[in-house]
Amino acid sequence: MHLINADLHCHSQVSDGTLSPEALAERAFAQGVELWSLTDHDEVSGQQRAREAALALGMDYLTGTEISVSFIGETVHIVGLGFDAENEALRAGLAATRSGRRERARQMAAGLAQLGIAGAFEGALRYVANPDLISRTHFARFLVDSGVCPDTHSVFRRYLTPGNPGYVPHRWAGLGEAVRWIRDAGGVAVIAHPARYRFTPTEEYALITEFIAHGGVAIEVVTGSHSAAEQVRYTDTALEFDLLASRGSDFHSPGESRTELGTLPGLPGRLKPVWGALQQRIQHARRRPFEATPIAVHP
């Protein structure tokens, strides 16, 4: 089970990636991915296309999303896997989570304008394929292409992170809400890239224990945003809290992403892979014609 090349975290044009769901499926398959999930930020509108493209290639598929959550003043990302993408409550929750993005983007542009960077709202919009999902990444691409910064990482460092002029604090979904939307749609909730949050050990403990109390069951251990040392650290965390482990590149764009689809190391053998608990979902996704049948049982 550990030997499966699973990549359960990446982004398409439906959020802040640059490839279509179909192009991502082909790229994942070409990289040897056997089990794939497209996890667009706060969106499931690419799910049907991703699943059809994956299955046409002979690659297994799990539905996915990455929900933006506010937890004790920090933004945390919760990945959902293996849910019913037609679930009304999940869709409504994601729509509500997306709803403030346009106004936030206008405020970000106003902050940048004060520094003399004009037209950032319209500029970022040129990179947006889904008008419902303007993200900081689209601003970053605009600022790189217009010569303000050499690469997206320096845009984030200089402009788009807390304490910098293009950063606008935002209230996302609650942790309990996000986990409940995923669970009630039959899926499993996963803490995304845990090493990325600037938490003290006490705050991180609070995140993990509250996540578990709400019904969350898994954590990303091997991800494009973790160093080797962080993989070791979160292997211990997964074992300590008896969490299932996930693996995903967090691929966004060729040339921009640090990690290619399907190329990360495997999960350490001591961990229980999250896809072990999702075998029924994987079987379900293989069915043709594609059904949106609600999935009855929690894994």
Structure tokens at 113: 């304008």
Q: How far apart are CA 106 and CA 108, in angstroms?
A: 5
Which partner in ligand AMP, Mn ion, none is near 153 (CB below 5 to 8 A by kind)?
A: ligand AMP
Other Cβ atoms within 10 Å of 110 Cβ, number: 14
Task: Give yes or no for residue 177 binding Mn ion (CB under 5 A).
Answer: no
What is the contact mask toward Mn ion in residues 59 to 88, using x (rule: CB under 5 A)?
Answer: -------x----------x-----------
CA distances from 174 to 155, 212, 243 (A): 28, 14, 21
HEC string of 17-66? CCCCHHHHHHHHHHCCCCEECCCCECCCCCHHHHHHHHHHHCCEECCEEE
Residue 249: name its binding partner from Mn ion, ligand AMP, none (Cβ under 5 to 8 Å by kind). Answer: none
Contact 27, 142 (CB under 8 A): no
135 binds ligand AMP per the rule CB under 6 A:
yes
Binding mask 17-56 for ligand AMP (x = CB under 6 A): ------------------------x---------------
Site string for ligand AMP, 190-229 (x = CB under 6 A): ----------------------------------------
CB of 66 to Mn ion, least distance (A): 5
B/e letters for 196-224, b = 16+ CB within 10 Å, e = fewer, are bbebeeeebeebbeebbebebbbbbbbbb
Choose which of 136, 180, 193, 214 interacts with ligand AMP (CB under 6 A): 136
Binding residues (CB under 6 A) for ligand AMP: these are 16, 41, 68, 135-137, 152-153, 156, 252
